[in-house]
Amino acid sequence: MTAQILDGKAIAAGIRNTVKQQVEKLVQCGTTPGLAVVLVGDNPASQVYVRMKEKACDSVGIRSTKHLLPANATQSDLDTLIERLNADPQVHGILVQLPLPAGLDTYQVMRLIDPKKDIDGFHPDNVGRLCTGEGDGFIPCTPAGIMELIRQTQRPLTGAKAVVIGRSNIVGKPIAMLLLQANATVKICHSRSADLAAECQSADVLVSAVGRPGLVRGDWIKPGAIVIDVGTSRTADGSLAGDVCFDEAVKVAGFITPVPGGVGPMTIAMLLANTVIAAERS
């Protein structure tokens, strides 16, 4: 068996085209969707991610503004900036690039962002709406992108067994909630889970989001399973590697995402989609 590749770039391109059309309609009605990106410090990886997001916004007509604070910025400096962006009617979405420098309280910042502008879906109000299934909050971008990738397989999730490796607030927990709402039977595994290989072997849908290159071997995968690799790590030679041993897994899985080119493009596409939703609701 050779798995079908879930091409995140191609699927994301379709989403971005739809977003562009939505932006054009909003602009005709007098509203230009605006995204404010906050970057604290000079983390090279964060700078790259911010540039990618700015470029993506430009490609669909979203007005993006970058707000830079030095690495020695105080909590008060950051809080004051967030409050100013909350009050700005031209800012529909606020994104604070993580991780923040040591000494800054990430949870305090997430709580301070107006939930209606929290296009990352990290505010407790949006987290609560996700957990209760209310459906009108913002869903974190990576889990939202994962669900779209799974939908592309056209396989029903009702009754399927889904295993999520990783329990982060950004990916692991929210994707588990989304899969549960889609009527899958979900198990969250992590570094202390017993017999991780056996858990994976039972999964109709396997989502790995731990950032450990080569963790999931080909013989861990149930034949025909949907495999979503969220992990992205830089190897010694500078290349990117996922959690899943792709060359092994592609011979067993039914569908699989590559790294790079799988989940990553979908995350940015869903960020754009969330920004448009925020603008439509404003």
Domains 30-114 and 140-264 share a fold: yes
Measured between alpha carbons, how far is residue 60 from residues 15, 53, 143, 221, 222 in Å? Answer: 10, 11, 22, 38, 39
Q: Does the N-terminal peptide bond of residue 143 adopt cis geometry, omega within 30 degrees of 0?
A: no
d(CA 266, CA 51): 16
**28 in Cβ contact with 279 (< 8 Å):** no
Inter-axis angle of helices 141-152 and 8-28, to 10 degrees?
120
Residues 6+ apart with CB under 8 A from 18: 273
pLDDT at residue number 249: 97
Q: Give the domain ranges of the chain.
A: 30-114, 140-264
Predicted confidence (pLDDT) per residue in 50-98, tens digit: 999 999 999 999 999 999 999 999 999 999 999 999 999 999 999 999 9
Whole-prediction pTM value?
Answer: 0.94
pLDDT at residue number 60: 97
Superfamily of domain 140-264: NAD(P)-binding Rossmann-like Domain (3.40.50.720)
pLDDT at 238 over 90: no
Alpha-carbon torsion angle 222, 223, 226, 232, nearest 10: 70
Residues serving a catalytic function are: 53, 97, 120
- Average pLDDT of every residue of the chain: 95
Predicted confidence (pLDDT) per residue in 191-233, tens digit: 889 999 999 999 999 999 999 999 999 999 999 999 999 998 8
- Per DSSP bridges, beta strands 34-40 and 63-69 are parallel
Alpha-carbon torsion angle 121, 125, 131, 136, nearest 10: -70
- Is residue 204 classed as helix, strand or coil in its secondary structure? coil
30-114: in CATH 3.30.70.2860: no
